[in-house]
C-alpha cells in the first residue's frame, strides 16, 4: 500500500484543514456524484475518509505546518529587537518554509522611542545570556528562614 494520498484524498484533507466546511461538505465537494446518495451514506463515507490514517496524518501535518509558520523564531525576534535598537523605521520580515523557500515577505514599521530601545537592549541581553551573574553573600551561620531568604534575594539582614 502506498503512503501517498490520491488527489481526491489530498483535496479532502486540505478542505478539512481549512475548517470552512464540515467533513460531509468536504466529501461532497471532492466527490460531487455523492450528492445523489443518502445523507447517512455520505456522512459515513466522509467519516471513514477523515479517519483513514493517511488522511488524518496529512491533516495533522497541515496543522503542524500552520503552527510552525505562525511561531516567531528566535532569529526573527532578535532581528526585530535589533531594528528597534538601531532605530530603523522599516524591517522586512521574511517567512520561509522548511526547504528555505520564501513563503511571504512583509515590511513592518517600528517607531522606536528611547524606552523601547532600552527594553530591547535588555531583552537581547537576556536572550543572548549577556547578563552578569548575580553574586549573593550568604551567612551559613544564620538559620532563620526569613534571613536566609533575604540573603538569597540580596537584601541581607540589618
Closest residue by Cα to residue 31 from 8, 10, 56 = 8
Average pLDDT, the chain: 79
pLDDT digits (tens, 9 = 90+) for 3-45: 789 999 999 999 999 888 999 999 999 999 999 999 999 999 9
Output the pLDDT for position 158.
47
Classify residue 61 by its DSSP letter.
Answer: H
| 99-129: pLDDT as tens digits | 778 777 787 776 667 777 777 778 777 777 7
> Cα–Cα distances in Å, from 52 out to 13, 15, 49, 91, 123?
10, 15, 5, 44, 46
Q: How far apart are CA 142 and CA 151, in angstroms?
A: 10
HSE at residue 156, side-chain half, CA atoms within 13 A, is 4
- What predicted TM-score, i.e. pTM, was given to this entire model? 0.47
Amino acid at each position: 500500500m502506498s503512503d501517498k494520498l490520491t488527489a481526491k484524498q489530498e483535496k479532502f484533507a486540505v478542505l478539512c484543514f481549512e475548517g470552512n466546511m464540515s467533513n460531509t461538505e468536504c466529501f461532497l465537494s471532492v466527490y460531487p456524484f455523492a450528492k445523489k446518495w443518502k445523507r447517512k451514506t455520505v456522512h459515513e463515507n466522509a467519516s471513514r475518509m477523515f479517519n483513514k490514517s493517511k488522511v488524518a496524518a496529512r491533516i495533522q501535518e497541515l496543522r503542524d505546518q500552520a503552527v510552525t509558520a505562525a511561531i516567531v523564531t528566535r532569529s526573527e525576534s532578535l532581528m526585530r529587537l535589533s531594528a528597534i535598537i538601531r532605530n530603523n523605521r522599516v524591517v522586512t520580515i521574511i517567512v520561509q518554509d522548511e526547504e528555505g523557500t520564501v513563503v511571504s515577505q512583509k515590511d513592518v514599521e517600528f517607531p522606536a522611542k528611547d524606552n523601547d530601545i532600552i527594553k530591547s537592549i535588555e531583552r537581547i541581553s537576556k536572550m543572548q545570556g549577556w547578563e552578569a551573574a548575580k553574586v549573593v553573600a550568604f551567612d551559613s551561620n544564620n538559620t532563620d528562614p526569613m534571613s536566609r531568604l533575604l540573603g538569597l534575594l540580596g537584601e541581607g539582614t540589618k
